Amino acid sequence: MVQCRKLGKLLPGLSRPPFKNELGKRIYEEISKEAWDEWLKESVRYINTYRWDLASAEGQQKMMEQIAIHFGFEEGEKIETAWTPPKP
């Protein structure tokens, strides 16, 4: 269980860090599986909108920056995607 930084609740965490770096460690320690799963769905929109190649160092860097901003580990603006959530 982790106190999820993104959702503000005590929730089940990830089974292992998603990356072998400091950001992966922080996600593992501070982000719930639920919040991570939400990010994975949202990340597809970034990849599709900007055509990021995650096999390239540049694509990986851009994605890591957006992950850090999304989860509040870094200050910055989330870039816009072509998709907008439906209004309730």
Percent of the chain with pLDDT strictly greater than 70: 93
Contact indicator for 81, 45 with CB cutoff of 8 Å:
yes
Complete domains list, the chain, with CATH:
2-70 (1.10.3880.10)
Nearest CA to 16 out of 38, 31, 35 is that of 31
Residues 6 or more apart from 41 whose CB is under 8 A from it?
Answer: none
Kindly indicate the confidence band of residue 79, based on its pLDDT and cuts at 50, 70 and 90. Answer: confident
72: left (phi over 0), alpha (psi -120 to 50) or beta: left
10-11 and 2-3: which strand pairing?
A: antiparallel
7 or 75, greater pLDDT: 7
Contact indicator for 19, 27 with CB cutoff of 8 Å:
yes
pLDDT at 83: 58
